[in-house]
Amino acid sequence: MTFQIDESLHWTDHYVEHGMARIKNALPSSCCDTAVAAIQKALGTDLPPSQWACPPLEPNAPERLRTVSVFEHQEREDHGQPELQAVLDTIYDQPEIRDIIDTMFGSPDHWDGSRPYQLFIRLFDPNAKQVLSEPHVDFVNVRIPVIGNWFYFQVSLVKTEPFSGNISIYPGLHKIVQKRLIEQPNWWYGSSPKQKQEWNEMIAGIEPFEFVADPGDVLLFSHLAGHAGNASAATGRSPRVAMQCQAIRKDWPSKIDATDPNLTPWQRSLAHNGSIDLGCDEGKLQADAYRQRQDREAAAKA
Protein backbone atom coordinates (compact mmCIF):
# COMPACT_ATOMS: atom_id res chain seq x y z
CA MET A 1 0.00 0.00 0.00
CA THR A 2 1.38 3.41 -0.85
CA PHE A 3 0.38 6.84 0.41
CA GLN A 4 -2.29 8.64 -1.58
CA ILE A 5 -2.25 12.43 -2.00
CA ASP A 6 -5.12 14.06 -0.09
CA GLU A 7 -6.71 15.95 -2.96
CA SER A 8 -9.03 17.81 -0.56
CA LEU A 9 -6.08 19.86 0.71
CA HIS A 10 -4.55 22.83 -1.08
CA TRP A 11 -0.94 21.96 -1.91
CA THR A 12 0.34 24.40 0.73
CA ASP A 13 -1.72 22.70 3.44
CA HIS A 14 -0.61 19.32 2.14
CA TYR A 15 3.01 20.39 2.48
CA VAL A 16 2.41 21.67 6.02
CA GLU A 17 0.65 18.50 7.15
CA HIS A 18 2.73 15.88 5.35
CA GLY A 19 6.07 17.65 4.72
CA MET A 20 5.47 17.12 1.01
CA ALA A 21 3.09 18.11 -1.76
CA ARG A 22 2.61 17.24 -5.39
CA ILE A 23 1.47 19.85 -7.91
CA LYS A 24 0.17 18.25 -11.09
CA ASN A 25 1.07 19.99 -14.36
CA ALA A 26 2.81 22.80 -12.51
CA LEU A 27 4.97 23.54 -15.54
CA PRO A 28 3.83 23.65 -19.17
CA SER A 29 4.94 20.59 -21.13
CA SER A 30 6.73 22.89 -23.62
CA CYS A 31 9.18 23.76 -20.85
CA CYS A 32 9.90 20.06 -20.27
CA ASP A 33 10.23 19.47 -24.03
CA THR A 34 12.92 22.17 -24.21
CA ALA A 35 14.83 20.63 -21.32
CA VAL A 36 14.56 17.11 -22.75
CA ALA A 37 15.79 18.34 -26.15
CA ALA A 38 18.84 19.86 -24.45
CA ILE A 39 19.50 16.58 -22.60
CA GLN A 40 19.16 14.61 -25.85
CA LYS A 41 21.69 16.92 -27.47
CA ALA A 42 24.09 16.49 -24.57
CA LEU A 43 23.67 12.72 -24.76
CA GLY A 44 24.00 12.68 -28.53
CA THR A 45 20.73 10.88 -29.21
CA ASP A 46 17.43 11.54 -30.96
CA LEU A 47 15.75 8.71 -29.08
CA PRO A 48 12.82 9.78 -26.89
CA PRO A 49 13.37 9.19 -23.15
CA SER A 50 10.89 6.30 -23.20
CA GLN A 51 13.45 4.44 -25.34
CA TRP A 52 16.44 5.23 -23.18
CA ALA A 53 17.51 2.06 -21.48
CA CYS A 54 20.64 0.42 -20.21
CA PRO A 55 22.52 -2.12 -22.27
CA PRO A 56 22.35 -4.96 -22.99
CA LEU A 57 18.69 -4.42 -23.83
CA GLU A 58 19.53 -1.63 -26.26
CA PRO A 59 22.83 -2.74 -27.79
CA ASN A 60 22.66 -0.08 -30.47
CA ALA A 61 21.97 2.82 -28.13
CA PRO A 62 24.40 5.72 -28.44
CA GLU A 63 27.50 5.43 -26.30
CA ARG A 64 26.52 8.46 -24.19
CA LEU A 65 23.41 6.64 -23.03
CA ARG A 66 25.58 3.85 -21.71
CA THR A 67 27.32 6.30 -19.40
CA VAL A 68 24.36 8.44 -18.52
CA SER A 69 24.68 7.56 -14.88
CA VAL A 70 27.37 10.27 -14.71
CA PHE A 71 24.48 12.68 -14.28
CA GLU A 72 23.27 10.95 -11.18
CA HIS A 73 24.15 12.72 -7.94
CA GLN A 74 26.38 15.27 -9.66
CA GLU A 75 26.29 18.88 -8.61
CA ARG A 76 25.37 21.21 -11.43
CA GLU A 77 28.81 22.80 -11.48
CA ASP A 78 30.30 19.44 -12.38
CA HIS A 79 28.20 18.55 -15.39
CA GLY A 80 30.74 19.98 -17.82
CA GLN A 81 27.80 20.68 -20.12
CA PRO A 82 27.48 24.48 -20.34
CA GLU A 83 24.81 24.42 -23.06
CA LEU A 84 22.69 21.98 -21.12
CA GLN A 85 23.17 23.91 -17.91
CA ALA A 86 22.11 27.16 -19.59
CA VAL A 87 18.79 25.51 -20.47
CA LEU A 88 18.27 23.74 -17.14
CA ASP A 89 19.12 26.90 -15.18
CA THR A 90 15.99 28.52 -16.61
CA ILE A 91 13.75 26.20 -14.61
CA TYR A 92 14.03 28.77 -11.83
CA ASP A 93 12.85 31.52 -14.22
CA GLN A 94 9.54 29.83 -14.94
CA PRO A 95 6.76 31.97 -13.44
CA GLU A 96 5.07 28.84 -12.08
CA ILE A 97 8.22 27.89 -10.14
CA ARG A 98 8.71 31.44 -8.85
CA ASP A 99 5.11 31.42 -7.71
CA ILE A 100 5.66 28.20 -5.76
CA ILE A 101 8.80 29.61 -4.09
CA ASP A 102 7.16 32.93 -3.25
CA THR A 103 4.10 31.18 -1.86
CA MET A 104 6.20 28.88 0.33
CA PHE A 105 8.34 31.74 1.67
CA GLY A 106 5.48 34.24 1.91
CA SER A 107 6.77 36.87 -0.52
CA PRO A 108 9.23 37.37 -3.40
CA ASP A 109 11.64 39.02 -0.94
CA HIS A 110 12.84 35.88 0.83
CA TRP A 111 14.28 33.69 -1.94
CA ASP A 112 18.07 34.07 -2.16
CA GLY A 113 18.14 33.71 -5.97
CA SER A 114 20.54 30.74 -6.04
CA ARG A 115 19.80 27.80 -8.34
CA PRO A 116 21.23 24.61 -6.89
CA TYR A 117 19.94 21.55 -8.70
CA GLN A 118 20.90 18.09 -9.79
CA LEU A 119 19.74 16.32 -12.92
CA PHE A 120 18.65 12.81 -12.02
CA ILE A 121 18.50 10.31 -14.84
CA ARG A 122 17.86 6.72 -13.92
CA LEU A 123 17.68 4.26 -16.77
CA PHE A 124 15.87 0.94 -16.81
CA ASP A 125 17.95 -1.75 -15.14
CA PRO A 126 17.05 -5.26 -16.26
CA ASN A 127 18.45 -6.67 -13.03
CA ALA A 128 16.50 -4.39 -10.71
CA LYS A 129 13.40 -5.38 -8.76
CA GLN A 130 10.13 -3.48 -8.51
CA VAL A 131 10.56 -2.39 -4.91
CA LEU A 132 10.87 0.95 -3.11
CA SER A 133 14.09 1.49 -1.17
CA GLU A 134 14.37 2.29 2.53
CA PRO A 135 14.14 6.03 3.27
CA HIS A 136 16.93 8.24 4.57
CA VAL A 137 17.54 11.88 5.43
CA ASP A 138 20.46 13.71 3.82
CA PHE A 139 22.36 14.21 7.07
CA VAL A 140 24.44 11.15 7.83
CA ASN A 141 26.51 11.19 11.01
CA VAL A 142 26.06 14.93 11.35
CA ARG A 143 23.74 17.37 13.07
CA ILE A 144 20.33 17.67 11.35
CA PRO A 145 18.93 21.22 11.06
CA VAL A 146 15.87 21.68 13.29
CA ILE A 147 14.67 24.62 11.17
CA GLY A 148 16.96 24.89 8.14
CA ASN A 149 16.42 27.55 5.49
CA TRP A 150 15.22 25.73 2.37
CA PHE A 151 12.87 23.23 0.80
CA TYR A 152 13.36 20.85 -2.11
CA PHE A 153 11.34 20.61 -5.28
CA GLN A 154 11.69 17.94 -7.90
CA VAL A 155 10.45 18.56 -11.45
CA SER A 156 9.69 15.56 -13.63
CA LEU A 157 10.65 16.26 -17.24
CA VAL A 158 9.05 13.06 -18.54
CA LYS A 159 6.12 10.73 -18.00
CA THR A 160 7.05 7.95 -15.61
CA GLU A 161 5.47 4.69 -14.46
CA PRO A 162 5.47 3.00 -11.08
CA PHE A 163 9.05 1.84 -10.37
CA SER A 164 10.61 4.08 -13.06
CA GLY A 165 13.27 4.98 -10.52
CA ASN A 166 11.05 7.69 -9.08
CA ILE A 167 11.81 9.33 -5.75
CA SER A 168 9.66 8.13 -2.84
CA ILE A 169 8.80 10.28 0.16
CA TYR A 170 7.70 9.30 3.66
CA PRO A 171 4.88 11.73 4.52
CA GLY A 172 4.70 13.11 8.04
CA LEU A 173 8.24 12.13 8.94
CA HIS A 174 9.21 15.82 9.08
CA LYS A 175 7.25 16.16 12.34
CA ILE A 176 8.71 13.01 13.88
CA VAL A 177 12.32 13.82 12.99
CA GLN A 178 12.00 17.39 14.26
CA LYS A 179 10.44 16.19 17.53
CA ARG A 180 13.37 13.84 18.04
CA LEU A 181 15.83 16.68 17.38
CA ILE A 182 14.09 18.95 19.87
CA GLU A 183 14.06 16.25 22.54
CA GLN A 184 17.57 15.00 21.79
CA PRO A 185 19.55 17.82 20.15
CA ASN A 186 22.53 15.53 19.61
CA TRP A 187 20.55 12.80 17.83
CA TRP A 188 22.10 11.74 14.53
CA TYR A 189 20.93 9.64 11.63
CA GLY A 190 23.56 7.02 10.93
CA SER A 191 24.35 3.42 10.27
CA SER A 192 25.25 2.06 13.71
CA PRO A 193 22.91 -0.73 14.91
CA LYS A 194 21.43 1.60 17.58
CA GLN A 195 20.87 4.41 15.06
CA LYS A 196 19.36 1.97 12.59
CA GLN A 197 16.97 0.63 15.19
CA GLU A 198 15.90 4.14 16.24
CA TRP A 199 15.34 5.12 12.60
CA ASN A 200 13.29 1.99 11.94
CA GLU A 201 11.10 2.82 14.93
CA MET A 202 10.58 6.34 13.60
CA ILE A 203 9.50 5.21 10.12
CA ALA A 204 7.43 2.26 11.30
CA GLY A 205 3.94 2.31 9.83
CA ILE A 206 4.55 5.20 7.42
CA GLU A 207 3.47 4.41 3.87
CA PRO A 208 5.70 5.90 1.17
CA PHE A 209 4.50 8.12 -1.64
CA GLU A 210 6.08 7.33 -5.02
CA PHE A 211 6.36 10.31 -7.38
CA VAL A 212 4.90 8.71 -10.51
CA ALA A 213 4.74 11.74 -12.75
CA ASP A 214 3.64 13.41 -15.92
CA PRO A 215 5.95 15.96 -17.54
CA GLY A 216 5.80 19.20 -15.55
CA ASP A 217 4.59 17.65 -12.30
CA VAL A 218 6.40 19.07 -9.29
CA LEU A 219 7.02 17.41 -5.93
CA LEU A 220 7.92 19.58 -2.95
CA PHE A 221 9.46 18.16 0.21
CA SER A 222 11.00 19.20 3.48
CA HIS A 223 14.65 18.64 4.40
CA LEU A 224 13.25 16.62 7.33
CA ALA A 225 11.17 14.32 5.12
CA GLY A 226 12.54 10.81 4.72
CA HIS A 227 13.01 9.94 1.08
CA ALA A 228 14.62 7.39 -1.21
CA GLY A 229 15.92 7.08 -4.74
CA ASN A 230 14.76 3.86 -6.31
CA ALA A 231 15.90 1.39 -8.92
CA SER A 232 14.43 1.76 -12.40
CA ALA A 233 12.44 -1.36 -13.19
CA ALA A 234 9.16 -0.17 -14.68
CA THR A 235 7.14 -2.58 -16.78
CA GLY A 236 7.37 -0.23 -19.77
CA ARG A 237 11.09 0.43 -19.08
CA SER A 238 10.51 4.20 -18.81
CA PRO A 239 13.36 6.03 -17.03
CA ARG A 240 13.28 8.79 -14.45
CA VAL A 241 14.44 12.13 -15.88
CA ALA A 242 13.97 14.78 -13.22
CA MET A 243 15.56 17.88 -11.81
CA GLN A 244 16.00 18.04 -8.08
CA CYS A 245 16.13 21.66 -7.02
CA GLN A 246 16.55 23.54 -3.79
CA ALA A 247 14.82 26.83 -2.93
CA ILE A 248 16.86 28.64 -0.30
CA ARG A 249 15.89 31.60 1.85
CA LYS A 250 18.13 34.66 2.17
CA ASP A 251 18.10 34.32 5.93
CA TRP A 252 18.27 31.29 8.22
CA PRO A 253 15.75 31.84 11.01
CA SER A 254 16.62 30.77 14.54
CA LYS A 255 13.02 30.93 15.80
CA ILE A 256 9.57 29.69 14.84
CA ASP A 257 6.66 31.25 16.75
CA ALA A 258 3.94 28.62 16.51
CA THR A 259 1.34 31.09 17.84
CA ASP A 260 1.89 33.58 14.99
CA PRO A 261 -1.26 33.47 12.82
CA ASN A 262 0.67 34.77 9.80
CA LEU A 263 3.22 32.01 9.39
CA THR A 264 4.10 31.08 5.82
CA PRO A 265 3.49 27.49 4.61
CA TRP A 266 7.23 26.81 4.98
CA GLN A 267 7.19 28.07 8.59
CA ARG A 268 3.95 26.24 9.43
CA SER A 269 5.51 22.95 8.33
CA LEU A 270 8.15 23.52 11.00
CA ALA A 271 5.76 24.53 13.78
CA HIS A 272 4.06 21.20 14.54
CA ASN A 273 6.15 20.69 17.65
CA GLY A 274 5.39 24.11 19.12
CA SER A 275 7.46 27.28 19.15
CA ILE A 276 11.20 26.91 18.71
CA ASP A 277 13.94 29.28 19.78
CA LEU A 278 17.37 27.84 19.05
CA GLY A 279 19.09 30.79 20.70
CA CYS A 280 21.91 30.58 18.17
CA ASP A 281 22.76 30.98 14.51
CA GLU A 282 21.71 27.59 13.09
CA GLY A 283 23.40 28.25 9.75
CA LYS A 284 26.74 28.68 11.49
CA LEU A 285 26.06 25.70 13.73
CA GLN A 286 25.39 23.56 10.66
CA ALA A 287 28.49 24.78 8.83
CA ASP A 288 30.58 23.97 11.93
CA ALA A 289 28.97 20.52 12.14
CA TYR A 290 29.91 19.75 8.52
CA ARG A 291 33.48 20.91 9.14
CA GLN A 292 33.73 18.71 12.23
CA ARG A 293 32.41 15.70 10.28
CA GLN A 294 35.00 16.35 7.59
CA ASP A 295 37.74 16.47 10.25
CA ARG A 296 36.50 13.20 11.81
CA GLU A 297 36.46 11.49 8.42
CA ALA A 298 39.95 12.79 7.60
CA ALA A 299 41.24 11.63 10.98
CA ALA A 300 39.69 8.19 10.46
CA LYS A 301 41.46 7.85 7.12
CA ALA A 302 44.84 9.01 8.44
The footprint of Fe ion (CB under 5 A) covers 138
- Nearest distance in Å: CB 279, Fe ion: 29
- Nearest distance in Å: CB 246, Fe ion: 12
- Nearest distance in Å: CB 173, Fe ion: 13
β-pair partners for 247? 151
Specify the amino acid at residue 242: A
- Nearest distance in Å: CB 49, Fe ion: 23
Specify the amino acid at residue 199: W
Q: Which is nearer to Fe ion, 115 or 136 (CB)?
A: 136
Task: Give the number of residues written for the chain.
Answer: 302
- Nearest distance in Å: CB 73, Fe ion: 9
**In whole angstroms, what is the distance from residue 106 CA to residue 267 CA?**
9
By the 10 Å C-beta count (0-12 exposed, 13-18 middle, 19+ buried), 166 is classed as buried
- Nearest distance in Å: CB 242, Fe ion: 13
Q: Which is nearer to Fe ion, 20 or 36 (CB)?
A: 20
CB 170 within 8 A of CB 226: yes
Question: Beta strands of 19-103 (E only): which ranges?
Answer: 20-23
Q: Which residue is nearest to Fe ion (CB)?
A: 138
Note if the bond before 62 is cis, omega within 30 degrees.
no
Question: Beta strands of 82-202 (E only): which ranges?
Answer: 117-122, 150-156, 168-170
**In whole angstroms, what is the distance from residue 287 CA to residue 285 CA?**
6
Q: Which is nearer to Fe ion, 229 or 265 (CB)?
A: 229
Q: Which is nearer to Fe ion, 191 or 275 (CB)?
A: 191
Q: Which is nearer to Fe ion, 85 or 118 (CB)?
A: 118
- Nearest distance in Å: CB 134, Fe ion: 12
Q: Kind and range of the H or E element at 211?
A: none
Q: Which is nearer to Fe ion, 61 or 167 (CB)?
A: 167
Q: Which is nearer to Fe ion, 135 or 215 (CB)?
A: 135
**In whole angstroms, what is the distance from residue 131 CA to residue 125 CA?**
13
**In whole angstroms, what is the distance from residue 72 CA to residue 215 CA?**
19
